[in-house]
Every structure is written in structure tokens, then in C-alpha cells.
Amino acid sequence: MQGGWPLAPASVIDADIATITGAADKVIRVDGPPDWLLAVDFHSGHDAGQLLPRMLLYNAALGKRHQLRVRSLAVVLHRGADSPQLNGVYERGFPGELADIIFRYRVVRVWEVSAERWLSGGLGMLPLAPLGAVQEAELPAVIAQMKERLDREVPSRQAAELWSATYILMGMRYEQAQIQTLLQGVIAMKESVTYQAILREGKAEGLAEGQAKEARRILLLQGRSRFGEPTPEVIAAVNALADVNKLEELSVRLLQVSSWQELLGGNG
């Protein structure tokens, strides 16, 4: 093949890329001149190596779809998600050759921005204020300023959703008991459908775990009676099971086998 690349075995593969899906966390249209788009991705995990290719993909896809220039912004929500890879430049290419792609983006590290900046920005930025450059002793004052602004500027239902976002985001940095103490006076949060969904999910998870715990206890109790004391490996294997239906199946199977090994081995 012409092009100046070294010769190597090659084959034609499927060129269809229709399976590519996804979306940036938030896209903002900015009126120019020229008009342009801001693609914002909030980052809270440890996958910076996966974040950058994804941001590049979204940048290109948004530009093609809307026929506008696109700027990209990575918002790092807490220190644990930071990475030296997030340096504003992402390059793609082959070793020993000039980069085929140089993708430039900007990074905002939430904890480096003063709480005052978040408090004075758009309403959607308010939940980031407790994660900004703020000391724990200053948190009550920050929450009070948030409440004053939300009470003044938005309906209670919208305020409830913003308080729920605050509750979730604060969990990345503060202990649960501290968060509840700080937000206990924010009655509006109880009106949030997001907050109520979190409570329901937590209750459901707690119920499921309670059922699984009891099923594991019964399985070990019945097994001791039938097979004798289990080894540490058997106990670890049983404790690793979280599916209540599977645990119930094992309790029934226990009556048909003659050892712990046959019980768990037969289950795969």
C-alpha cells in the first residue's frame, strides 16, 4: 500500500461505526461571533485514560452534528480523581512519529476554585460550592448562603433537586454524618424526586442485603448440621454470594449432596 508506512500483513475489517453511542455530560451553546459549543465532562473516577479518548470522540461528533466549533472542559470533582494525564493536551499517534491528533481541552479542579466563585455563578453551579476551596469550619456559612439564594431565586421543587445534587456531591469529600448535620435544616430536599429515589434505592439495597445475609446464615447452619464445620474457604465462598435466589437453590440442593465441596462445586 502506498503511503510510506512499513509493509506488514493486513486485512479488511468491518468499517461500520454505527454502534458508537454516548453523550457528553453537558453541552452548552455559546452565541458568538462565532457561535460555538462547550462540551463539559464531570470526572469523579480513576479512569482518566478512558476519559480523554471519550472527550475527543464527543468533541468531533458534536462538531459534525451541529456544524459548530467545539471546546471541551473536564471538571474534576475531587482530588482522588485527579491525574497527571489531565494536563490539557491529549495526543494520539504512533511511537517515533509525529502525533496524528493533538486534542486540547481545559481542566477545572473544583477544590481549587473558591466557594465564593461557585456561589456567585449560575444556579446549577451552587452544589459545587461545598467542594470548592473551603475549610470545614466555613461549611455552615456556605450552606447558609446557598439556602438564602435558592429560597430567593427558585421554586421549592427546583431547589429540592439542587439540594439533592449537593447531598450526592458532598459524599465525595465529607462523612455521611457531617453531611446530614449540615443539611438537616434543608427541608426542601425531602421534596426532591431524586432524593426520594436515593432513599428508596438505599432501602431496597438494605432489604436485599438483609435477606441475603439471613439466607447465608441458614445455609451455613444447615450445612454444619449435615456436613460438619466448613473450611475457611467454604465460608468465604458462601459469604461471597449475594443472590438470594441462588442461596435458596443451594439450600434445596444441600439435601441432595454429601459434602460442602459437592454443594459448592456442583453450583459452579
pLDDT at 18: 59
Least confident of 93-97, 102-106, 115-119: 93-97
Question: Per residue, what are the HEC states of the chain?
Answer: CCCCCCCCCCCCCCCCCCCCCCCCCEEEEECCCCCEEEEEEEECCCCHHHHHHHHHHHHHHHHHHHCCEEEEEEEECCHHHCCCCCCCEEEECCCCCCCCEEEECEEEEHHHCEHHHHHHCCHHHHHHHHHCECCHHHHHHHHHHHHHHHHHHCCHHHHHHHHHHHHHHHCCCCCHHHHHHHHCCCHHHHHCHHHHHHHHHHHHHHHHHHHHHHHHHHHHHHHHHHHCCCCHHHHHHHHCCCCHHHHHHHHHHHHHCCCHHHHHHHCC
In sequence order, which residues have a C-beta less than 8 Å from that of residue 61 and are 6 or more positions away? Answer: 20
Domain count, the chain: 3
pLDDT at 251: 81
Q: Does residue 70 lie in a domain region? A: yes
pLDDT digits (tens, 9 = 90+) for 21-49: 666 678 999 998 899 999 999 998 888 88
Higher pLDDT, 109 or 258: 109
Mean predicted confidence (pLDDT) in 108-126: 93
pLDDT at 267: 43
Q: Does residue 258 lie in a domain region? A: yes
| pLDDT above 50 (res 242) | yes
| pLDDT above 50 (res 70) | yes
Percent of the chain residues topping a pLDDT of 90:
37
Higher pLDDT, 59 or 187: 59
Is 216 in the same domain as 227?
yes
pLDDT digits (tens, 9 = 90+) for 207-223: 567 777 878 888 888 88
Is 122 in the same domain as 105?
no
pLDDT at 44: 86
Q: Does residue 153 lie in a domain region? A: yes
Residue range of the domain that includes 151? 115-191
Distance of CA 249 to the CA centre of its chain: 34
Higher pLDDT, 133 or 49: 133
Q: Does residue 8 lie in a domain region? A: no
Gap between the Cα atoms of 162 and 126, Å rounded: 8
Question: Domain boundary residue among 90, 112, 134?
Answer: 112
C-beta of residue 75 within 8 angstroms of C-beta of residue 38:
no
**Grid coordinates 454516548 are at which residue?**
22
Is 227 in the same domain as 158?
no
Gap between the Cα atoms of 78 and 62, Å rounded: 27
pLDDT at 16: 63
pLDDT at 39: 93
Q: Does residue 54 lie in a domain region? A: yes
Question: Domain boundary residue among 69, 88, 112?
Answer: 112
| pLDDT above 90 (res 200) | no
Mean predicted confidence (pLDDT) in 101-124: 94
